[in-house]
Structure 1
Amino acid sequence: MNVLTFDTEEQIGIAAGYYMCGQVLQKPDSVLGLATGSTPIKAYKQMIELYKKGAVDFSQVTSFNLDEYVNLDVKDKNSYHAFMHDNLFDYINIPEENINFLNGNAEDLQLECKNYEKKIKACGGIDIQLLGIGSNGHIAFNEPADSFQRWSHVVELKESTIKDNSRFFNSIEEVPTRAVTMGIGSIMQAKRILIIAIGEHKAKAIKQLIDGNVTPKCPASVLQFHKDVTLMLDKGAASLI
């Protein structure tokens, strides 16, 4: 596990953007696993800047997003579909047909999850997975639980996650209580993983991820078993290690 500490969030964004684009330069038809939320925004800005400068070409890239809310219109500003277009896809040349999301409005969510896994496999698997980490140690929407959920699945969101995400909505009551998400097995099959964590409120989860017991009570701890993980942390997130 490669742990990098930075002074500022801006520095992390630049480094993470270069890291993701480096993957595309090495393999132009890379399969990227992408995350949402406030954590990756600066990384996406850097990816856009590098594209605008002609330093990277996304025309052969395929992407898979980690998760999506259930029963939230994709046109809603808080859907992850809208987030990704607003913060990345509308500004780079990735083909629309190469962009993949779990459909939280599917009639059969279980079938949707199974088909998503099949599509990832058909594309050769994810080359690099970008992750944030929740204050409770969740990755994607894999919440603390009694066991690891292996593949994409429907999840009931924990109160702490709903509270964390309420900052994006007008009120906590508007936050969806369910989501569809890649599972722990889906994430662990990525060839490389990049985790960004910012702020002291992430420090406990980061410590558990790095040197705590591997337990589904802290889903991110399973990443200790992955062969290629890079963490980019600010001083707050790194304060307990």
Structure 2
Amino acid sequence: MDIRIFDSHEALDKAASEVMVELARSKERPVFGLATGGTPVGIYQALIQVFSEERLSLKHALAFNLDEYVGLPPSHSQSYAYYMLQHLFGHVDMPPDQRHIPDGMARDPHQECLRYDQLLAEAGRIDLQLLGLGHNGHIGFNEPGRGLERGTHVVSLQEETREANARFFSEMEEVPKQAITMGMGTILQARMILLVVKGKDKADVLSSALTGPITTELPASLLQTHPHLLVMADREAGAQLFAQVDLNIIDKA
């Protein structure tokens, strides 16, 4: 486990983007697992900057997003398909047929999960899986529970998760109650996992995820089992780690 603490979001975003750029340059057909939400926005902006300076091409890359809301069309401003188009896909040269996001409007969401897993199987292992961290320790939309699904599946969102996402909708009733999410088994099969965490409101859950017991009641704790886990956090999110663990924590401005 490699943990790096940054003094600024700009430095963190740049460092995270550099990891992704290195993969894109070093592998003929890199496979990225991508995330949404507020955390990756700066990372995607940094990637776009490198692309705009003609120092990066994603023509041969594949991308698989972690999740999508059930019931939101790609044109909806809060769908993750729309998010990815606005924050990354619409600004780089990755062909549309190489960008994969679960179809939240599929007539049969469970069949859509099987289709998505088949696409993942055909692509092989994800080379780099980018992750954020939910306040309740969820990864993707893998919510805390007595057990976790291995493959892509339909999940009923916990109220805490819906409340956290309600700020993006006009009212709570508009927040979807279900989502399609990549399973923890698929996530943990990635060759490398890049977990990015920002903000003091994530300090407790990040500390528990990295230093506490491994339990499905805190899905992020399963990341402790991964052989190539890189954690990048700002100083507020990583504050508790300094006192609790003796890991490779790098203070980088």
TM-score (normalised: structure 1): 0.98
| Equivalent pair of 1:28/1:57 in contact (CA under 8 Å) | no
Superposed, 1:84-123 pairs within 5 Å as: 84-123=84-123
Structure 1: runs of 5+ lacking an equivalent? none
| Equivalent pair of 1:64/1:99 in contact (CA under 8 Å) | yes
Partner of 1:145: 145
Instruction: Choose 129-138 or 114-123, whichever is displaced more.
Output: 114-123
Q: Does 1:178 align with 2:178?
A: yes
CA distance in 2, matches of 1:205, 1:10: 23
CA distance in 1, matches of 2:192, 2:24: 13
CA distance in 1, matches of 2:167, 2:125: 33
Partner of 2:16: 16
Give the secondary-structure state (helix, strand or coil) at the position aligned to 1:58. coil
Partner of 1:66: 66
Give the secondary-structure state (helix, strand or coil) at the position aligned to 1:154. strand
CA distance in 1, matches of 2:168, 2:108: 27
Matching residue's letter, 2:230: T
Partner of 1:158: 158
Give the secondary-structure state (helix, strand or coil) at the position aligned to 1:195. strand
Q: Does 1:2 align with 2:2?
A: yes
TM-score (normalised: structure 2): 0.93
Q: Tell me the C-alpha RMSD between the 2 structures.
A: 0.8
Cα distance, 1:28 vs structure 2: 3.4
Matching residue's letter, 1:213: P
Partner of 2:26: 26
Structure of higher RCO (CA pairs closer than 8 Å, 6+ residues apart)? 2
Per-residue displacement from partner, 1:57-81 (whole Å, max 9, x unpaired)? 1000010000000001110010000
What fraction of aligned residue pairs are identical, expressed as a percent? 39
Matching residue's letter, 2:45: K
Superposed, 1:193-212 pairs within 5 Å as: 193-212=193-212
Give the secondary-structure state (helix, strand or coil) at the position aligned to 2:233. strand
CA distance in 2, matches of 1:69, 1:103: 8
Matching residue's letter, 2:9: E
Q: Does 1:236 align with 2:250?
A: no
CA distance in 2, matches of 1:198, 1:226: 21
Q: How many residues align?
A: 241
| Equivalent pair of 1:69/1:104 in contact (CA under 8 Å) | yes
Change (3 A) 1:48 1:28: farther
CA distance in 2, matches of 1:177, 1:198: 25
